[in-house]
Amino acid sequence: MSEFDDWVADLKQKRDELKVKLHLASKDAEDEWDNLVSDWDKFVRETQLDKSAEEVGEAAKELGLRMKAAFDRMKQAKD
């Protein structure tokens, strides 16, 4: 096998490894998004149950913090 063939084989391996990493990152982002959608749906259901303003405020704050953390994780995974 020539040096060029070795170089091409190495390049192909790196390409394949990157493809797998990107796929896994996409799956992680998709899972994170699904969790956010679930959290949002829960929040909407809870606010429709005529909870007190304090309970809704706490639920909104908790949801907001979880969503911010999730968005930050997704952004870091992208970078």
Round to whole Å and give the CA distance between 66 and 55: 17
Burial 33-44 (b: 16+ CB within 10 A, else e): eeebeebeeebe
**pLDDT tens-digit readout, 17-75:** 988 888 888 888 888 889 888 988 887 777 776 666 666 677 778 888 887 888 888 77
- Tokens representing 40 are 């949002």
Query: Pick the residue with more confidence: 14 or 54?
Result: 14
pTM across the whole model: 0.50
Q: Is residue 6's pLDDT more than 80?
A: yes
* pLDDT at position 54: 67
- pLDDT, residue 13, reads 93
Cβ contacts of residue 67 below 8 Å, gap of 6+? 36, 39, 40
Residue type, 40: W
